[in-house]
């Protein structure tokens, strides 16, 4: 299993992302720098700035919401990231919450899984990637409802783009196995990945005769230190997700009772259920081993809670202690 790093903040200035790009550039244990959806600076622009500043590190997104972009624009951004960094870009997409859909579209996706599949198909078509009959298959009886690809973009030389889907529940996991290059999770405990996500992704891939796409897990982590409150760190890292019904439903399916109307209980449940790794660096290394054993190909370390409360230096201190603890682990 590879380890990667999430920029643990939504940068208000591009310079705020530099310490984390530097860590990936100089740390051999980290494979990629990731960024989530941003309502500040566009992630593709941030990665382009970092490349120009001397940090052309492999980049990815987990995940960008489809109500904000057309597939052609997504394809343009994705191949730009690949071209400017000189590395294959992994760009993840998802439908977002119903609140986001209504705010940006004036309505909601009646079938968000179908919308996500159409988005990936359309973006792949715009990229003019090699023909994949499962991705490009179209039925005259069922024309695209949400996204139409249009013509491929004019060719540009780049190292390649992998298109991922944000995965919470079994149906999205199965379709990710059919059409995506990566299935990207958020808050999902290792046990849920082992029992549900990885098997469903594999089953989806097998049903269409293709290799299983990679499973990428975003893992919330924080080193236990005197004076720190793990409940506080959960709220700072994932509080906005814990109140959303689709995340609550996924956690219930994972055996984590995280009530949307009780933030303290939800945070404690997430910690005890393995959705937020809090402890010594060696404890966290052991917990990460469970993700590897579950079939995860890449774990993205998310230190947003630590960064929000204590700043960049503390976040990097946690990161380097975790990396030191995992240096001798063979996944």
For residue 331, is it within any domain?
A: no
Say what the pLDDT of residue 134 is: 43
Residue 328: per-residue pLDDT: 85
- Over the chain (331 residues), what is each successive 10-residue block's mean pLDDT? 97 95 91 94 96 97 95 96 98 93 92 94 83 44 76 90 97 97 97 98 97 98 97 94 92 93 93 97 97 98 98 97 92 79
Q: State the total domains in the chain.
A: 1
Q: Is 295 among the domain residues?
A: yes
| Contact residues for 189 (Cβ-Cβ < 8 A; gap 6+) | 254, 255, 256, 273, 274, 275
pTM of the model: 0.94
Tokens of 47: 């990665």
Q: Are 313 and 331 in contact (CB under 8 A)?
A: no
Q: Considering the domain boundaries, does residue 124 fall inside one?
A: yes
Q: CATH number of the domain at 320, please.
A: 3.20.20.30
> Could you tell me if 147 and 119 are in contact, meaning their C-beta atoms sit under 8 angstroms apart?
yes
**Is residue 296 situated within a structural domain?**
yes
Round to whole Å and give the CA distance between 33 and 4. Answer: 6
Residue-number span of the structural domain to which 283 is assigned: 2-326
pLDDT at 128: 79
pLDDT at 309: 97
Q: Do residues 6 and 43 lie in contact, with contact meaning Cβ atoms separated by under 8 Å?
A: no
pLDDT of residue 142: 66
In a domain, 162, yes or no: yes
Strands, DSSP E only, in 239-329? 276-279, 298-302
What's residue 301's pLDDT? 98
Question: Quick one: tokens of 202?
Answer: 């594999």
Return the C-alpha torsion angle 267, 279, 60, 19, nearest 10.
110
150: in domain: yes
DSSP 196: I
d(CA 192, CA 74): 30
């Amino acid at each position: 299993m590879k380890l990667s790093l999430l920029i643990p903040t939504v940068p208000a200035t591009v310079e705020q992302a530099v310490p984390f790009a530097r860590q990936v550039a100089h740390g051999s244990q980290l494979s990629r720098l990731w960024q989530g959806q941003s309502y500040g600076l566009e992630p593709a622009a941030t990665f382009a700035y970092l490349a120009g500043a001397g940090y052309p590190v492999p980049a990815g997104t987990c995940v960008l919401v489809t109500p904000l972009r057309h597939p052609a624009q997504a394809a343009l951004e994705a191949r730009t990231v690949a071209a400017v960094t000189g590395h294959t870009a992994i760009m993840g997409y998802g439908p977002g919450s119903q609140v986001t859909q209504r705010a940006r579209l004036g309505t909601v996706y009646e079938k968000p899984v179908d919308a996500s599949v159409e988005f990936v198909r359309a973006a792949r078509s715009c990229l003019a990637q090699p023909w994949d009959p499962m991705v490009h298959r179209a039925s005259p009886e069922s024309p695209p409802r949400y996204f139409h690809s249009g013509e491929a973009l004019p060719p540009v030389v780049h190292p390649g783009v992998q298109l991922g889907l944000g995965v919470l529940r079994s149906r999205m996991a199965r379709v990710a196995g059919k059409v995506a290059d990566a299935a990207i999770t958020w808050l999902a405990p290792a046990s849920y990945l082992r029992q549900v996500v990885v098997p469903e992704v594999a089953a989806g891939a097998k049903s269409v005769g293709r290799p299983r796409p990679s499973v990428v897990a975003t893992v919330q982590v924080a080193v236990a230190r005197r004076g720190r409150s793990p409940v506080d760190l959960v709220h700072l890292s994932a509080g906005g997700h814990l109140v959303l019904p689709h995340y609550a439903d996924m956690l219930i399916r994972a055996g984590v009772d995280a009530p949307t109307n009780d933030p303290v209980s939800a945070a404690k449940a997430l910690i005890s259920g393995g959705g937020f790794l809090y402890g010594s660096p060696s404890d966290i290394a052991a917990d990460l081993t469970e993700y590897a054993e579950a079939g995860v190909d890449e774990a993205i370390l998310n230190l947003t809670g630590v960064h929000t409360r204590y700043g960049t230096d503390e976040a990097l201190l946690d990161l380097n202690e975790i990396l030191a603890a995992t240096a001798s682990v063979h996944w």
